[in-house]
Amino acid sequence: MPSAPSTSASGNSTLTDRLVEILKSRTAMDIDLELPAVPRSILRCLDLLSAPDFSFGGMASLLSTDTKLAGQLAQVSNTTGPSHTPARSTEQAISRLGAEGVRTGLFEIALRPLLESVPPRLQAVCKQPWQHALAVAILSQRLMHLRGSNERALLEAYRAGIFHDAGKPITANMLFEIERQMTNAKGRKIINEEMLTLCVERCHAMPGARLARAWGLSPEAASAIEPAAQPQPSGFSLAAVIRLANALAFKGGFHTRRDELDRSRLLVDEARRAAGFDEETCHRALDGVKDAVSRRL
């Protein structure tokens, strides 16, 4: 009968390193990885957006066959645009968003269930993951705006930010499958909360970036997700902005882990200096972000 893994700190560290090594080998770019699929109804809409004959009327006609998706896009339109008057029709909602706004809304609608339905054990260390994702996206966009970036860069920042945590549930599910394969004869779980936290933190970026590419994010946005999870050398980049937005989200109260509030100041200072932002700019980006996120829920 195999012996139970050590529960000492050194034993946990050794097992964590082993799990991280396994996870990284299974999510490498040259390895087939089963990823969550874009829902068929959303995929049809994304395909139409890329068609040369795209029109708002055509999109409205397609959405008439899916009232739930039409309602979700209308909600996106009513909570993101400057107008305080709700859209009266699907076509009006679509025209308010514009083609790229519709694309972003479809990404959000597809991604939200993935983050809101994280495994119960992951919920112990990931608090309100969808709210956190929205905060990172909004803050990334605001930081780029305060930097004076163009509209295209703002769009890429928001989309990359919304996918920043997308790899966490994917990583956790892989980790639990590995655990099932490694469980000792007594059937006890071998991965505790600290190990789960460390493994997900160290390994979620690659599957998140792969999901972003598979779902159709631009190469620029998808390529920023993985380096955003690592300490960056000094210099402005989309990855550095997303890393700072993630740290600011912790500071703003959007915590996916209990200990992030305690370390948020250090995270913000490190990311702020690397990206080249001053404290005043970060305060301006954070102003009203809780209300902005609440409007989107």
Q: For the segment 125-175, what is each residue's pLDDT rounded down to a tens digit?
A: 777 889 999 999 999 999 999 999 999 999 999 999 999 999 999 999 999
pLDDT grade for 257, boundaries at 50, 70 and 90: low
Average pLDDT value for the chain: 88
Share of the chain above pLDDT 90, in %: 64
pLDDT at 7 over 60: no
According to the model, what pLDDT value does residue 266 have?
Answer: 77
Taking only the tens place, the pLDDT of each residue in 80-124 is 866 668 888 899 999 999 999 999 999 999 999 999 988 888 887
For residue 263, how many other CB atoms are within 10 A of its CB?
Answer: 12
**Cα-based angle 212, 204, 211 (whole degrees, multiple of 5):** 15
Q: What is the mean pLDDT of residues 182-203?
A: 79
**Terminal CA-CA length for the chain:** 51
According to the model, what pLDDT value does residue 30 have?
Answer: 80
Question: Quick one: which of 166, 259, 251, 250 has its CA closest to 213?
Answer: 166
Task: Decide which of 31 and 66 is more confident.
Answer: 66
Share of the chain above pLDDT 70, in %: 89
- Residues in contact with 59: Cβ distance below 8 Å, sequence separation at least 6, in sequence order: 45, 48, 49, 91, 94, 102
Task: Decide which of 183 and 221 is more confident.
Answer: 221
Q: Report how far residue 248's alpha carbon sits from residue 267's, in angstroms, rounded to the nearest whole number.
A: 8
Q: Report how far residue 190's alpha carbon sits from residue 180's, in angstroms, rounded to the nearest whole number.
A: 9
**151-163 burial string, b = 16+ CB within 10 Å, else e?**
eebbbbbbbbbbb
94 close to 102: Cβ distance less than 8 angstroms: yes
pLDDT grade for 264, boundaries at 50, 70 and 90: confident
pLDDT at 1 over 50: no
According to the model, what pLDDT value does residue 87 have?
Answer: 86
Q: Report how far residue 63's alpha carbon sits from residue 272's, in angstroms, rounded to the nearest whole number.
A: 42
Question: Quick one: which of 164, 217, 207, 218 has its CA closest to 27?
Answer: 207
According to the model, what pLDDT value does residue 6 have?
Answer: 44
Domains and CATH numbers, the chain: 9-29+117-296 (1.10.3210), 39-110 (no CATH)
pLDDT grade for 184, boundaries at 50, 70 and 90: low
pLDDT at 20 over 60: yes
pLDDT at 4 over 50: no
pLDDT at 8 over 90: no
Question: Quick one: which of 78, 76, 87 has its CA closest to 112?
Answer: 76
Residue carrying the six token digits 């740290």:
247
- How far is C-alpha 19 from the geometric centre of its chain's CA atoms? 22
